Amino acid sequence: MESFFKKFFFRSNNLDFISQNIKNLTKNKSVYKIFEAINSYSPQSEIRYVGGCIRKILNNEEIDDIDLATNLEPKQVCETLRKNKINYYESGIEHGTITALIDGQKFEITSLRKDIFTDGRHAKVKFSKDWKEDALRRDFTINSIYSDGDGNLFDPNNGKKDLENGFVNFIGDPDKRIKEDYLRILRYLRFFLNYSKKPHKLEIIKSLKMNIDGISKLSKERFLDELKKIIKLNTLKNLSKDKTSLELFQIIFPELKNVEIFSKFDSRLKDFLKDDDFIFLISLMAIDETDNVDYFLYKFNFSKKDQKRIKLIHNFYKEKVNSKKISLNSINKVFYYHGKQAVIDILRYKIIKSKKIDKSLLELIKKYETKARPIMPISAGILMKKYKIPEGEQLGKKLKIIEEEWVKNGFKISEQIIDSIVRAKYI
């Protein structure tokens, strides 16, 4: 889907160009198929783009997903998708959301609705036919802009104007909107840091602080998902420079202590940092001399793979990174036992945390990016055959010492050293 967006996306604030971008999006085979399926249900059925994809098109951003709204109820959406041979699953049918699957692409289709009960986490909804009613229950004006397939905008809350002027406004009463879903506190921070051209409104900050304890009611999964959307290089750079946003962020995420590192972020670091490398960006903020990172990983239930990656950086940091020089021996050990990514992470971490860039570390990164993990040249079978060593504990100990010596010497070892290790009586 991304290649399609890049191919047909034009950057302009001109409404004609915006309309053309939307029309081009509708020409996408998969998108067109969904529009046709919904519109074929009845003469009254409608489907429109909504939310993030329209916001991003209006703001000259590349879109990475498509959210759709329809006046059909969920069961009717399922019916017409089946009829048109479009695969789907009921991702949130109780809230009106069906996810269509076409050629590996996902499209969330949500029925117009009205929230009739909310508790800060969940909502009980009533399905609607009223587009304005649906718009009024959304979070921010900039997320309540709709468009049909021909690029005609439907904007009952003046979201386009707010986007152009750099306002991040809740729809209606901020306090009420936040109490409906406490995740909106984090969403406000994300949108403010990315779109705002104006200072925070005092009434909004007051509502955020009054309701901030409600965040504890959110599931870890929703919490972490929103954090991933916040942790982007540009967002963090803006966060480090906005006192109010930083204060709120550190109340919510006290373990992420080192946000200020991004205030000094410069072009030299962009060469080896990816904007979407959530795990590494987290490590920059969470790792210190304490056990802070361990609690953070436990608190948010990170995957074992992600935990391992951050802990490797953390453990190496405590042992080596604070020293003036990282030895090639220590790097080789990490490379052999933990792989290429671990080495690159450690070297990047050291560079970013240092006051001056060590060019030798930059060269090491380039070296290890293309370097294949070495294979141990000596096996248990070779030792057993050549030296007549029986299988058992002694064989394992000698093989381990040989391996350690091989790694220590830059993945090189002589026959003489192997011979001396094998014949040593103390092992």
How do the pLDDT tens digits run along the chain, 427 residues long? 444 444 444 444 556 788 888 999 999 999 999 999 999 999 999 999 999 999 999 998 888 889 999 999 999 999 999 999 999 999 777 888 999 999 889 999 999 998 776 766 666 778 999 999 999 999 999 999 999 999 999 999 999 999 999 999 999 999 999 999 999 999 999 999 999 999 999 999 999 999 999 999 998 889 899 999 999 988 998 999 999 999 999 999 999 988 988 877 665 566 677 778 999 999 999 988 777 888 888 888 888 999 999 999 998 887 755 555 688 888 999 999 999 999 999 999 988 888 787 888 889 999 999 999 999 999 999 999 988 888 899 899 999 999 999 998 999 999 999 999 988 865 5
In terms of domains, do 131 and 71 share one? yes
Residue 81 lies in a domain: yes
Burial of 215 (0-12, 13-18, 19+ CB in 10 A): middle
Residues of the domain holding 3:
1-165
What is the model's pLDDT at position 186? 96
pLDDT at residue number 92: 78
Could you tell me the CATH number of the domain that includes residue 124?
3.30.460.10
Is 363 part of any domain?
Answer: yes
pLDDT at residue 267 in the model: 59
Q: Are residues 327 and 416 in the same domain?
A: no
**Residue 123: per-residue pLDDT:** 67
Task: Answer yes or no: do 98 and 43 share one domain.
Answer: yes
Q: Which of residues 323, 343, 369 is at a domain's end? A: 369
Do 24 and 96 sit in the same domain of this protein? yes
- What is the reported pLDDT for 257? 87
412 and 363 in a single domain? The answer is no
> What is the structure's pLDDT at 294?
86
What is the phi-psi region of residue 291: left when phi exceeds 0, alpha when psi lies from -120 to 50, beta otherwise?
A: alpha
Contact 24, 8 (CB under 8 A): yes
Residue 334 falls within a domain, yes or no?
Answer: yes
> Does 32 reside within a domain?
yes
Query: Residue 101 pairs with which residues in a beta bridge?
Result: 87, 106
Asked if residue 219 is part of any domain, the answer here is: no
Helix (H) or strand (E) holding 285: helix 278-286
Distance in angstroms (rounded) separating the CA atoms of residues 290 and 302: 19
Domain co-membership, 31 together with 89: yes
Residues pairing with 68 in the sheet:
49, 109
Identify whether residues 70 and 157 lie together within a single domain.
yes
On whether the CB atoms of residues 412 and 402 are closer than 8 A, the answer is: no
Give how far Cα 340 sits from Cα of 115, 336, 359, 366, 371, Å. 49, 8, 19, 11, 8
- What is the value of pTM for the model shown? 0.85
Q: Is residue 133 part of a domain?
A: yes
Does one domain contain both 25 and 130?
Answer: yes
Burial category of 360 from C-beta neighbours within 10 Å (exposed 0-12, middle 13-18, buried 19 and up): exposed
At residue 4, the pLDDT reads 46
Q: Which amino acid is residue 355, in one-letter code? A: K
Indicate whether 15 and 98 sit together in one domain.
yes
The pLDDT value recorded for residue 5 is: 46
pLDDT in tens, 80-129: 999 999 999 997 778 889 999 998 899 999 999 987 767 666 667 789 99
Alpha carbon 264 to chain centroid, angstroms: 22
Domain boundary among 116, 146, 165: 165
CB 47 within 8 A of CB 32: no
Q: Are residues 349 and 384 in the same domain?
A: no
What is the pLDDT, as a whole number, of residue 9?
Answer: 43
- Number of domains comprising the chain: 3
Q: Are residues 55 and 134 in the same domain?
A: yes
Q: Where are the beta strands (DSSP E) in 10-104?
A: 47-50, 66-70, 87-92, 97-102
Q: In the structure encoding, which two tokens stand for residue 35, read together?
A: 């529009």
Same domain, 42 and 129: yes
- Show which of 130, 165, 200 is a domain's final residue: 165
Residues in the chain: 427
Flag whether 273 is in a domain: no
In the chain, DSSP finds a helix count (H) and a strand count (E) of 23, 9
Establish if 98 belongs to a structural domain. Answer: yes
